[in-house]
Amino acid sequence: MVDVDERSRENRKDLIIGNWKMHHTHLDAIQVIQKLSYRLDLADYERVDVGVAPPFTALRSAQTVIEADRLPILLGAQDAHFAESGAFTGEISASMLAKLSVRFVIVGHSERREHFGEDDALVNKKVKAVLAAGMTPVVCVGETLEIRERDETSTWVAGQVTGAIRGIEDATNLVFAYEPIWAIGTGRTPSTADAADVIDVIRETLGPQGSHVRMLYGGSVNAGNVADFMAKNTIDGALVGGASLDPDSFASIVRYWI
Ligand code: PGA
């Protein structure tokens, strides 16, 4: 049980996002969103901004159910191309996503960095494209186990943050997710103190804007550990992978104080 009233997060509302990765067809997506909505009530949405990021193929169906049922669930995408349009076979532009009422886009997830060769410069271009299309970039940063063991996590993460925001004057419309790579899908997590320390590094890297930006922790978050992370003032929410696929599990994560 977390005493949420003791936390002082200024005007940073809690934000809990489900990253479905390459899971759920558009038919599954409709069911999952509906079931999730049955388990949450208005008081939950008042306390927490709730987001889901389905695969591209499910976005239109997700949008339809969210709008038809007037659900206060934020729709997100897992990636976007940096160009407005063009000869980029297989890619999806930020403005195409915005047209589907997508509100946020995950950018620079470690799986994109690892399997699709995304570097800080590309992440930076994507962040700018997402902002230009009027959506919120959810920028993922985090270290490998090797970097952590070398005690270079802070420098590494600060470098990723600096790279992501290059040329962006106002970073207050961004969200950052600190996701240690060794904690993603492994069941392992850093201590809440370690997670909070790295998030404070992100805040410091952003300078005076840092205290206005929402910061999430991600990596093996589940219904059993989310409250511990949320008990840290500097952690405003969670980016949840595996445990967000099932609506019961995700609803218990959203209602972390119960
Ligand atoms: P996980 O994934 O919760 O399954 O560890 C988190 C993420 O990759 O965003």
Give the ligand 1 atom nearest the CA of 240: 3
pLDDT at 4 over 80: no
CB 30 within 8 A of CB 61: yes
Mean pLDDT of the region 254-258: 97
Query: How far is C-alpha 215 from the chain's CA centre?
Result: 9
pLDDT at 5 over 80: no
Residue closest by Cα to atom 7 of ligand 1 = 241
CB 16 within 8 A of CB 51: yes
Please name the residue ranges forming H helices in 73-174. 94-98, 110-115, 120-132, 145-149, 153-165
Per-residue pLDDT reduced to its tens digit, 106-123: 999 999 999 999 999 999
Q: What is the pLDDT, as a whole number, of residue 257?
A: 97
CA angle (133, 247, 136) in 5-degree steps? 15
Tell me the average pLDDT of the chain. 96
Other Cβ atoms less than 10 A from the Cβ of 172: the count is 13
pLDDT at 93 over 50: yes
Per-residue pLDDT reduced to its tens digit, 237-255: 999 999 999 999 999 999 9
Q: How far is the CA of 229 from the centre of ligand 1 (A)?
A: 14
Give the ligand 1 atom nearest the CA of 222: 3
CB 33 within 8 A of CB 52: yes
Q: What is the pLDDT, as a whole number, of residue 136?
A: 98
Confidence class for position 11, pLDDT limits 50, 70, 90 = confident
Could you tell me the end-to-end alpha-carbon distance of the chain, in angstroms, rounded to an integer? 6
Mean pLDDT of the region 224-240: 98
Q: Which helix (H) or strand (E) holds 50?
A: strand 48-53
Pocket of ligand 1 (CB under 6 A): 19, 179, 184-185, 218-221, 239-243
Other Cβ atoms less than 10 A from the Cβ of 89: the count is 4
Q: How far is the CA of 219 from the centre of ligand 1 (A)?
A: 5
Q: How far is the CA of 86 from the centre of ligand 1 (A)?
A: 31
User: Helix 153-165 and helix 192-206: axis angle, to 10°?
Assistant: 40
Cross-strand partners of 17: 51, 239
CB 141 within 8 A of CB 177: yes
The reply to whether 115 belongs to the active site is no
Other Cβ atoms less than 10 A from the Cβ of 154: the count is 17
